Amino acid sequence: MRPLDIDGAWVHEPKTFPDARGTFHEWFSVDGFEKAVGHPLNLAQANCSVSRRGTLRGVHFADVPPSQAKYVKCVRGAVLDVIVDIRVGSPTFGQWEGVRLDDQQHHSVYLSEGLGHAFMALTDDATVVYLCSEGYAPQREHGINPLDPELGIEWPAGVEPLLSEKDAAAPTLAEAREQGLLPTWEQCLAYRDRLKSSAG
């Protein structure tokens, strides 16, 4: 588990063991996760999405608390996975970080409560699985337009983005802030401290 530049986000880079039968790797470890993050992952829901090339999902986030932390892996094909810091008051507010997830390197990303998440499918049938700390709750779910020019996410050139109507109509980061939809840095730190103290 290697921390990314945005606080509260990590990438897991497992060792892969190939042989004549294929390959093996460990894509999640309770011990490794807890050592890096400071608390265990509360597994409340597991999701799987299959996307055609160009599909752009996100930027999604949920109210804090309890929000929805995600541990994300691409098990078929490839995606560009993007974490967005939408926590008002954070030192990296408005910044984003992209990690390629694919079925060759087998990397995974973890984004803690309060961060925004999006990805673009780089191949057809890109299959992404998520371990989620909370179940889906529509009344707490929000989105930011992933093509917001002020956010400036550098999606791959030459790939036409395919968005849902909901994601295409989502507000910009500035509009979401004006509407009071965004979590604060203080809320997220306080909630993370609660998770760490309850694990201790």
Using alpha carbons only, give the angle 105, 54, 48 rounded to the nearest 5 degrees. Answer: 60
| pLDDT of 95 | 98
Q: What is the DSSP track for 57-94? A: EEEEEE-TTT---EEEEEEESEEEEEEE---BT-TTTT
Active site residue 25: no
Write out the two tokens for 73. 């892996």
Residue tagged active-site, from 12, 39, 60, 142: 60
- Residue appearing with tokens 């939408």: 86
The hierarchical CATH code for the domain 2-199 is 2.60.120.10
**117: Cα separation from own chain's centroid:** 4
Active site residue 60: yes
Sheet strands side by side (includes 56-62): 96-102, 78-84, 116-121, 56-62, 141-143
Q: What is the DSSP track for 172-191? A: PHHHHHHTT-SPBHHHHHHH
Q: Which of 191, 175, 97 has the alpha carbon at shortest distance from 143?
A: 175
What residue spans define the domains of the chain? 2-199
| pLDDT of 200 | 67
Distance, CA of 80 to CA of 55 (rounded, Å): 11
| pLDDT of 124 | 98
Write out the two tokens for 107. 């990397």
Average pLDDT, 10 consecutive residues per value, the chain (200 residues): 97 96 95 95 97 98 96 98 98 98 97 98 97 95 97 95 97 98 97 89
| pLDDT of 67 | 95
Please tell me the pTM assigned to this model. Answer: 0.95
DSSP type of residue 199 = H
Asked if 89 and 189 touch (Cβ cutoff 8 Å), the reply is no
CB atoms within 10 A of CB 42: 14
Asked if 72 and 80 touch (Cβ cutoff 8 Å), the reply is no
